[in-house]
Structure 1
Amino acid sequence: MLERNGREFLIVYTGPDGSGRKSVAEAVGHTFGMAKVISYVTRPARSGEVDDQDCHFISMEAYLQMELEGQFLESVEIDGDRYGIRRADVENSLRRYGVVYLILNREGAERMKELYGDKAIRLFVYADRRVVEERQRNQATDEAVIARRLRHYDREMAYRSSCEHAFENFDLGDTVFQITNTLETYLQRGLVDKD
């Protein structure tokens, strides 16, 4: 696990669907030993997703009850599905680990910035529209789903200039390397090169 040094940060990965933000976030999170704060969603799991690991997949009724109880810091509807981050999950994870990461759309990223200010570091991960489309086709994503996600592409890309950092994810290894170096400046772990 990442050693606590008194600093608290929410590392927020955002960007268009299909840009690889989840793969990048998980690789960087693994590199640093960071804990992930998991969203609650009403959509069905996508191919390869695991409940309580990728997202908490819950019914619309359960989601609406949690929302009514004021449990969510952020709640958004996209294409008829609801997505939310539970306040207790963020606060407990920050208290326990100091540095955590989340994977959110632009509304969620903006909300975390409003609530946490300089503690929220937004990392915008993107890829060219053609690359995004190819990646989704290579994953055998349904054409209707691809079309729906691409309808949001330009709107998501417009958020890039609002984020603290942006990374084009052409090569996963290179993107992870760039983000790791960027986060070192915030985390200040005091690593020493002994070569």
Structure 2
Amino acid sequence: MYQLKEKEMIFIFTGPDGSGRKTVADMVGTTLGIPKVLSYTTRKPRPAEEDGQDYHFISEDVFQTAEQNGEFIETVNIEGVYYGIKDKDIEDLFEQNNFIYLIINAEGARILKQLYQERATRVFIYVDHDTILERQKALDMPEFVLKSHSDRYQEDMSYKEECMHSVENIDLAHTVFAVTNILEDYMNRDLVEKD
């Protein structure tokens, strides 16, 4: 496992599926110039998702081979779909940057927090259950995806109390502004000149 250096930090975006955590994370990452660690998954891309931009979409055989080779720092299985983060991807991004971010569910976030302790900061993005259903219906999500997200909503929300920061994503611009300020605070802590 890659050992983070003193000024290096991972920002972990988590929250219920459909809360807008990916949109918020990517907008904040772009604003602050922080690169994203992409997860690997065995599920098929959803409409508007692209390989190498949203996830690395791979077959179950490729995933299991990588897992057997010890390439993943964390993996989770959600309803038969595998997700994982590769240690090498984290190491490669830290060669050029002191800060990186990723977007994962509560189970993965919990694993990474245990691994990286104070070097990992969790940002929980959420909205109420009805808003998630409205947004996902507007995106023409398949019924089985809506049901899966709906069934897991309360469990996902229960992770909020474990996270250092939580922001309700009612207005996207406001949410991005608030989260950008939170992350900037971490990024600027060691940059203040001392008299």
1:67 deviation in Å?
0.5
Q: Secondary structure at the match of 2:181?
A: helix
Partner residue in 2 for 1:42: 42
Separation in 1, partners of 2:138, 2:131 = 10
TM-score by length of 1: 0.92
Write the deviation string for residues 141-176 of structure 1: whole angstroms up to 9, x where unpaired: 112210111111111100000001000000110000
2:67 matches 1:54:
no
- Superposed CA RMSD in Å reads 1.5
* AA matched with 1:172: L
1:95 deviation in Å?
2.9
Write the deviation string for residues 78-112 of structure 1: whole angstroms up to 9, x where unpaired: 01100000011112212321100000001111111
Percent of pairs identical after alignment? Answer: 44
Identify if the C-alpha distance between structure 1 residues 191 and 137 changes in structure 2 by more than 3 Å, giving closer, same or farther.
farther
1:189 deviation in Å?
7.0
**Unaligned residue ranges in structure 2 (runs of 5+):** 1-5
Summarize the alignment of residues 1-195 of structure 1 with structure 2, pairs less than 5 Å apart: 7-188=7-188
TM-score by length of 2: 0.92
How many equivalent pairs are there?
A: 187
**Unaligned residue ranges in structure 1 (runs of 5+):** 1-5
Separation in 1, partners of 2:63, 2:114 = 23
Identify if the C-alpha distance between structure 1 residues 177 and 191 changes in structure 2 by more than 3 Å, giving closer, same or farther.
farther
* AA matched with 2:169: N
Identify if the C-alpha distance between structure 1 residues 141 and 51 changes in structure 2 by more than 3 Å, giving closer, same or farther.
same
Partner residue in 1 for 2:3: none
* AA matched with 1:170: I
Q: Moved runs in structure 1, 4+ residues, more than 6 A?
A: 189-192
Separation in 2, partners of 1:32, 1:135 = 27
